[in-house]
Homo-oligomer: A and B are copies of this chain.
Amino acid sequence: MNKYWIWFPGDFEIHEGMLQNFTREERGMRWPAYWYIDDCYKNIKFEKTYDLAEPTTFTVHTHQQGYITINDIKYHVNEPITLDAGKQSIVVYIFSPDQLPTIYIEGDVIYSDPSWVADNYVIQRPVGYSKLFTELSDNPAKIPYHHQTIQPVSMTNINNGLLVDFGKEINAALKFSGLKKPITVCYGESKAEALDTKMCYYQQSNIIDPSKIVKRAFRYLFIPNYSANSINVVADCIYLPMQNKSSFNSDDELLNNIWQASIRTFKLCSEVFYIDGIKRDWWIWGGDAYQDNYINQYSFFNEDVDKRTIIALRGHDEVLQHINTIVDYSLLWVISIYNHYEMTADTEFLEMIMPRMEKMMQYLLNQTNDLGFIYGRQGDWIFVDWSEMDKDGTVAAEQMFLLQALKAIITAKKALNQDTSNYENRFNTLKENTVKYFWDNEQGAFIDSYESGKHHVTRHANILAILFNIVDDDKKQQILHNVLLNDQITQLTTPYFKFFEQDALCQLGQLKTVYDTIKDYWGSMIKKGATTIWEEYDPSVTGKQQFAMYGDPFGKSLCHAWGSSPVYLLGRYFMGLQPTSAGYSTFEVAPHLTMFKHLDCTLPIKGGSVHFRVHDGQVDITTDRPGGTVVTGKEKILLQPNQAVTITNEN
């Protein structure tokens, strides 16, 4: 008998998502996200009819206002009600001008659970609920954050002030005590930022005992004009607990550290929603969330943050604008539902999100031409990436996204036993035309745009063609050699798309290249002392300059979720674990672990885990769930639950 606080489905996420997108601050100014933002519905009915075998008592609890009708007779909320046996049709009317309308019904027979229906007077749907709010003492308006107190590790007098180092990047409120006079605090993810009293991202003045200081991201604090050599301060780390279901210990200490820093980074950026970085910008972005989903799958396997983010990105049924105003992000949003389904086989979520998925797909298909190609309309942002690209007319990369989005909705609708023929026709036509118009036989690669006549090749569309399995093996090999391994094709400049590139290289068997990249790019960041993974890193840049980005001297985020991709790349391609049907009802393990002499690694799967142990030239693989198959170059071996399969550690 699981009781829940219940609400209109999606509205908890939409309301909290609004608050999230309104949280950003920068240099003393508040900075809301620059897109259209929905709020929850304000006027809601909750309904269920019972056929009672005997009299029963229950109470409808709410922090908002309203009333109840039972068989059309009115009752009060927040007071016990006793009903006789027989048919009892209960409707709870709740409204609030500024809060999420939500109720909790306590009773032995009548109680609030997912079987109730919510109604905004236009749409009737099964209620929304969350494992975060299961007790009467819970309140969906109050996220159950946990607290951990962290002490500084050092304090140093410098620049006529005091520099406080907490030893690692954290996301915390500050608690000062014993202050003799008001102080100013400058925050820094880096020492350089904290010491820059003018340009540091966060700064608070006139702090006295006991000022309220909100949660902010930092490792260092600088208190200017402060001559004493210590100060009473602790950091109150505020976080939503999330269990790490993975572990990684190898004989490669650097790789161990990369994994740990990735896990830390990812956790810091995952609370109610995925945010891109903890310093900047606290907004929910579709592109970042898409990649976070993959990292999550190989570490925390937290289905809830995935779902909350997908819902918050989207808002209510009607589509007024592309997600984050970016056409590609709307497409990635559709695909993310497919990815989440492959990970979880959660058809309840599919049912919930399907009306919004269909409306989004319709919105996207409304901007396609006769060839099925999606184009940008006025005000649309065809982003793809920050790189130079020929965006004249329709663009190849967008068609790749659209093909995968069509595949996503086809899979989702099939899982719900819904007709998909319209989408399948669309998919087939688009696939044929994409190859016909964008594949350049001479260059053996996809070009950006065919309308311009420039036949310009960038990496993006070609990477996506690999990832989304749009071309045959012959063309994949052409792409590998003509584009991915071809230094004459302009290198990617953003970690966002490098994520996709590493993924594509792995799919094409280039594990050595990817392994070297992890050790070099991530490794040198760790060697330099990073405690979390940066948004972007270039070892050739030094001094203050390394913290600059987007034209801001401290614009770079030093704890950025997409930086945690080694977790995904190692888990998916080196441990070689992947579902082969939705929710891992079947899954494959194809290890490539010759770089390790010793390794002890656990990875989550839906409802279980897989354990890898490398020792003495062999790999032991164990799982606690049926459905697994170990795949080596030579054979396929069925994995029985709790029975190790041992293979030779070779590629």
Contact = CB atoms under 8 A, between A and B. Distances in A.
Interface of A: 18-19, 21-22, 27-37, 39, 41-43, 65-67, 74, 76, 93, 95, 97-98, 120-122, 318, 320-321, 325
Nearest to A66: B30
In order of increasing CB-CB distance, the 4 nearest A-B pairs are A98-B98, A32-B95, A29-B67, A30-B65
Contacts of A121: 34-37, 321, 325
12 contacts: A22-B97, A27-B74, A29-B67, A32-B43, A34-B93, A35-B43, A36-B121, A37-B42, A37-B121, A39-B39, A122-B321, A318-B318
A36 B97 contact: no
Most chain B CB inside 10 Å of its own CB: which residue of A27, A32, A318: A32
A372 to B, nearest CB: 26
Contacts of A95: 22, 30, 32, 37
A548 B93 CA distance: 25
Contacts of A43: 21-22, 32-33, 35-37
Contacts of A32: 43, 65-66, 93, 95
Contacts of A67: 29-31
B76 A39 contact: no
Nearest to A120: B36
Copies in the complex: 2
Contacts of A18: 42, 97
A247 B301 CA distance: 75
Contacts of A325: 121
A76 B28 contact: yes
A573 to B, nearest CB: 39
Contact of A74 (B21, B29, B97, B120): B29
Contacts of A74: 27, 29
B30 A122 contact: no
B76 A122 contact: no
A79 to B, nearest CB: 11
Contacts of A98: 97-98
A320 B122 contact: yes
Contacts of A36: 41, 43, 120-122
Residue in A76, A97, A122 whose Cβ sees the most chain B Cβ within 10 Å: A97
A43 B30 CA distance: 12
Nearest to A64: B30
Given A22-B95, A33-B43, A37-B95, 6 more contacts: A21-B43, A29-B67, A30-B66, A32-B43, A32-B95, A37-B42
Contacts of A22: 42-43, 65, 95, 97
A271 B252 CA distance: 75
